[in-house]
Amino acid sequence: MAAVLGISGEYHDAAAALVVDGAIVAAVQEERLSRIKNDARLPIDAARACLAHAGLFAADLDRVVFYEDPIEKLERVLVSTLRTFPRSLRQFPRAVGAQLGSKVWVIDRIAEQLGVPRAKVTSTEHHRAHAASAFFVSRYPRAAVLTVDGVGEATSTALWHGDGRSLRELGRIEYPHSLGLLYAGLTAYLGFEVNEGEYKVMGLAAYGQPRLRDEFARLLRLHDDGTFELGLPYFAYLADAELGFGPAMDALLGPRRSPHRPWDLSSAADQRYADIAATLQAVTEDALLGLAREARRRTGETALCLAGGVALNAVANARLARESGFDHVFVHPAAGDAGGALGSAILGALELGDPRPAALTTAALGLPIDIAATAQLARDLGLTVRTSADLPTEVATLVAGGKIVAFCQGRFEWGPRALGNRSILANPADPDSRERLNRAIKRREPFRPFAPAVLRDRAAAYFLGADGDLTPFMTTVCPVAPAHRDRLAAVRHVDDTARVQTVTSTSAPELAAVLAALDHTIGMPIALNTSFNGAGEPIIGNGIDAVGFLLSHPIDALVVGDLVITRNAA
């Protein structure tokens, strides 16, 4: 038996994950501790937090595994920039300098900063870490596995066959052809921040129609065997890593959208941008569907596992579940680079002879909130703190009355979704609560939807198809049942779908109790559930963050454990 720490970082979504004796003990993204959104720095604080939670020291570790091979990464950067010289002239010093600086020595830095012997620190391959993160925590003994992201060392897409404790690669697509970079380039074109704005593009797509397929046929060519190619003249990431698209994109689709102009979807200009988003979404789905059907053909399996940043596209996942030919589809809840930390840890543990982990039933793998310390801080700041005699009923009554409640319970979640432990809850039937959340608290674009959390055993009555392996971690969308569309106005998107989270007493017991109480107060076991964070901030980690949020945002109550914290009436 062994203790293995997995590490991802240096690009975005840095994280650490700890596996002990084959069991997943903790998984923490660095941003939750540093309060820097998508923090990319080497996650030493997250690593130490995982160890502290387990009561271990660095000396107790049998292995530390980094989620990609830094030498192979350097080789890809060198080859790709030299191959496109002189177009890459401006990008060359920055790209190669970054690799030759701290990144190529990342293994040594991990050993030094954690205080672990260098011989214990190894690396794995980026897409293998992604594949491990999805397959080995799924409930399937055998499955096809697809990993789809921007780029690892040199791979952007890979097909795997998972069988018990093994993963066998069946094929790959290499950089610069990448669905992740396609989506990122168009995200930047539409005026959003790359690695943050892709969710916005997905929400915007529902307001448009895929009218630009002829233009997009020049951007992405799909082949019968599931492979694809990008129209490289339209993309600039070989010469400009920040923008990701070139002047040819402007010539093809029209001028890029300014990131500073407010959205007005009643205008012809912004409606065209919505149509561009809709076309991007449609061709991305087509590409993923081609990959999935090829995976089904080549493996013969009935279950599909997905990881990589592109796998966080919930709308595409819904189409895969409907049309790919697989009976079961599962997406790792932290499918982006953070998930690579857990995949790396699992791979290291399996190599040392540990058993495959149990199937993941909850995303609450972070650090617990200190209820007593939070209460003391709140009292010191003059806030009202009281213990609730019946917390689920009190929260349900507040929500039913149009109040917005921040809800902190136990350990914070793993991945980008708040699933009931660091959530903001509101009435799913109240459009006014939704507008208040968007305008005054979350400060988001008006076209971005909010998600419903629903008791799993009641979900099918309200959301069609909400009974699979995607809804527990909010990684798909489901049509809202026609009979309940009017009653679910605050969580129903413009296309009559919702990104559903199904809840059980195992996955999120405190939230499940609130949903049961809401069934009595509003007649539905459903709450609007959005992440407990402000604009541009990571999800709340500890009690200090939570109290600070209450003081700086117009929420009505903060619930921590069985405590209800509110502002003083004065």
CB atoms closer than 10 angstroms to residue 209: 12
223 catalytic per annotation: no
Of 78, 11, 84, 71, the residue nearest 238 (C-alpha): 84
Closest CA to 189 of 138, 238, 247, 105: 247
Other CB atoms closer than 10 Å to residue 72's CB: what's the count? Answer: 16
Q: How far apart are alpha carbons 16 and 158 in whole angstroms? A: 23
* Cis preceding-peptide flag for 431 (omega within 30 of 0): no
State the Cα angle at 257 between 251 and 263, rounded to 5°: 145
* 260-to-23, 205, 215, 227, 437 alpha-carbon distances in Å: 46, 19, 26, 36, 21
Strands 63-66 and 121-123: parallel
Which stretches within 234-267 are classed as H helix? 247-253
Of residues 12, 130, 161, 177, which has the active-site annotation?
Answer: 12
Spatial separation of the C-alpha atoms in residues 264 and 267, rounded to whole Å: 6
- What is the Rg, in whole angstroms, of the alpha carbon atoms belonging to the chain? 23
* Dihedral (CA of 49, 50, 55, 59) sign: negative
Q: Is residue 567 within 8 Å of residue 392, measured between CB atoms? A: no
Beta bridge partners of 304: 144, 329
Q: Which residue has the tokens 């939807």?
A: 449
Catalytic residues, by residue number, are 12
